[in-house]
Amino acid sequence: MYDITHNFTYRQKDKGWQVILSYKDGDKWRQKSKQGLKTKQLAKAAGLRLYEDLKKSFVPSSNDLAHITLKEFIPIFTKDKPLLSDSSKYSFNRIPIFFDDLGNKMLAKITTADISRAVTKNNHYADHTISQQLALLHAVFSHAINVYGFTMNNPVSNVPRRKRIKSSRIKSVSQADFERLLASDVSPKHENYKICVQLAYYTGMRFGEMAGLSWDDVSFSTGIISVKRQLKVCRIDGKVQHRIGALKTNNSYRDIPMPGILIRVLSDWKPNTVPTSVLGFRTAESYPLNYWIKKTLPNTSIHDFRHTYATNLLANGVDVKTVAALCGDTVTTIINTYIDFTEEMRKKASRDVDAIFSK
C-alpha cells in the first residue's frame, strides 16, 4: 500500500491526551486529531487507527506518486475500482509476481523495452496467458495516465505481440488412457481425484465448477447436474482465500445431463462425502490433482478432460450450439477452439466418407 508522508504529535490536553496526525496532501500539510484519551499509550493506538482510516480514503496527487513503484500503485488502482470482482482484484495483484522484474521499479520509469524483456523472460507461458497479463498491465498504466496525470505514453501499447506460428491442437484423452488413469493408484484421502476426473470426462465441467459443486446441484431423479457456482481464488484484506462465488459468465450457468455410468459413480460416492460438497476440495488450485494425473498421463491436465467431452460430443454428431450450451461457452468459442479435428473425429470422418462413396 502507498505510504503517505506523515508524523504523529502527542500532548496532554484537558486532563487527557491528544494525538495529532499530520500528513502531506500534495504541496500542503493537513491534520487529523483525537483527544480525550486517558493515557499516551491509548493516544498512540488512536493515532494508528487515524492513519489506517486515512489510507482507506486518501487520494494521492500526481506529485505524491512521482516515485511510486508498480507494486505500490496497484492497490491504489484496485481501490479506485470498487466494482472489480474479487477474482479480478486477485489477478491485478499478481501482476508484480508475473512481471517480477518490474514490481519494484518506479511506474513512471518503466519502458516498453522493460516490458518486452519481461515478456521474453516469461516466454514459457502460453500466448493467451501473456496476452492476458499485458492487458491487465495496460489497464494499470492507462489509469495512472488518465486519472493521476502521469505524463507518459502507455508503455504496453507498443510491446510486440507474439505471433502463434501454429495453433496448438486440443488434447483429447482416449478411452484407454481414461480407464488407465482410473485404474492407477491414489491415496485414500485423494480418492476424490478419480471422481473429479470422471465428472470432467462425462460433463465437461471446469475445475472450479466441480470444486464448487454441491449435492443440492445433483438430481439423481432427473439425471441432471445444475452448474450454479464455482470455487475461486480471491484476495480479501490482503490475504488470498478460496471461496464459493458466482460463475464467470451468464453462459456458464447451465444444466448438464448425466450418463447412467456417472449417476452410478456419484450414487456410490455420496456416502463417503460431507453433507454438502461433492468433491470436498478446499482450494481452487488444480495443481495437486494435475500432479497425480501426470504421473500416469504425462502432459495431461484436468482441463483436457473438458476438451475430451466437447470433442466426443462433436465427433458423435452433436450440433455446435448444443455443445456450446453444455460446455457453458459461446458458439464462437466452440468453433474457434475445436475447429481442428481430433484423431477420433478424423477416423469417424474417414469411415463416413468411405460409407458414403461406397454405396
d(CA 48, CA 57): 15
Whether residues 29 and 79 share a domain: the answer is no
Q: Can you say how many angstroms the Cα of residue 285 is from the centroid of all Cα atoms in its chain?
A: 10
Per-residue pLDDT at 165 exceeds 50: no
Task: Evaluate whether residue 162 is within a structural domain.
Answer: no
Q: Tally the C-alpha atoms within 13 A of residue 108's C-alpha that lie toward its C-beta.
A: 11
Q: What is the mean pLDDT of residues 96-124?
A: 91
* Residue 357 pLDDT grade (very low, low, confident, very high; cuts 50, 70, 90): low
Alpha-carbon distances of 144 from 25, 141, 155, 233, 254, rounded to whole Å:
18, 5, 12, 26, 39
Position 343 scores a pLDDT of 56
**With bands split at pLDDT 50, 70 and 90, how would you rate the model's confidence at 167?**
very low
Mean pLDDT, rounded, of the chain: 85
Q: Are 112 and 179 within one domain?
A: no
| Cα–Cα distance measured from residue 302 to residue 344, given in angstroms and rounded to the nearest whole number | 19
Asked if the model's pLDDT at residue 163 lies above 70, the reply is no
Is the per-residue pLDDT at 349 higher than 60?
A: no
Residue 246 maps to which CATH number? 1.10.443.10
Mean pLDDT over 185-214 rounds to: 95
Task: Give me the sign of the Cα torsion angle 182, 284, 273, 305.
Answer: negative
3-state secondary structure of 22: strand
Does one domain contain both 190 and 276? yes
**Residue 168 located in a structural domain:** no
Output the CA angle 141-27-82, nearest 5 degrees.
Answer: 40
Query: What are residue 1's DSSP bridge partners?
Result: none
Domain boundary among 35, 57, 79: 57
pLDDT (tens digit, 9 = 90+) per residue, 111-144? 999 999 999 888 877 777 888 899 999 999 999 8
- Per the CB < 8 A criterion, the answer to whether 110 and 73 are in contact is no
139 and 236 within one domain: no
Question: Diameter of the chain by CA atoms?
Answer: 106
Structural domain contains residue 83: yes
pLDDT tier for residue 166 given thresholds of 50, 70 and 90: very low
Are 326 and 187 members of one domain?
Answer: yes
Residues spanned by the domain of 115: 70-148
- Is 261 inside a domain boundary? yes
Quick one: pLDDT band at residue 51, thresholds 50, 70, 90? Answer: confident
Position 315 in a domain: yes
Q: Is residue 161 part of a domain?
A: no
Q: Is the same domain home to 200 and 308?
A: yes
Residue 133 sits in the same domain as residue 229: no
Q: Domain count for the chain, please give it.
A: 3
Distance CA 125, CA 115 (A): 15
> Which whole number is the average pLDDT over 56-79?
78
**What are the pLDDT digits (tens) for 205-249?**
999 999 999 999 999 999 999 999 998 876 666 666 778 888 878
Q: How far apart are CA 259 and CA 203, in angstroms?
A: 9
If you average pLDDT over residues 247-261, what whole number do you get? 92
**Residue 153 domain flag:** no
196 and 245 co-located in one domain: yes
* pLDDT given for residue 275 in this prediction: 74
213 and 345 in a common domain: yes
More confident residue, 318 or 54: 318
Q: Average pLDDT of 331-348?
A: 68
Q: Which residues contact 39 (CB under 8 A, 6 or more apart)?
A: 17
pLDDT, greater one: 347 or 320: 320
* Interval 317-340 mean pLDDT: 85
Angle at 79 between CA 161 and CA 91, to 5 degrees: 40
pLDDT tens digits along 273-304: 877 899 998 888 888 999 999 999 998 999 99
Percentage of the residues of the chain whose pLDDT score is greater than 70: 86
By CB neighbour count within 10 A (0-12 exposed, 13-18 middle, 19+ buried), where does 75 fall? middle
For residues 140 and 216, state if they share a domain.
no
The alpha carbon dihedral of 292, 297, 300, 304 has a sign of negative
Distance CA 275, CA 18 (A): 55
Q: Are residues 106 and 204 in the same domain?
A: no
> DSSP 3-state assignment of 102?
coil
Give yes or no: residues 134 and 274 share one domain.
no
Which pLDDT band holds residue 15 (cuts at 50, 70, 90)?
confident
What does the pLDDT read at residue 180? 96
Question: What is the model's pLDDT at position 245?
Answer: 85
Asked if the model's pLDDT at residue 177 lies above 90, the reply is: yes
Contact 24, 64 (CB under 8 A): yes
Q: Percent of the chain, pLDDT > 90? A: 49
Cell 515478456 belongs to residue: 119
- Contact in structure between 96 and 115 (CB atoms under 8 Å): no
Residue reference for cell 498504466: 141
Q: Is 195 a domain residue?
A: yes
Domain's final residue, options 148, 183, 203: 148
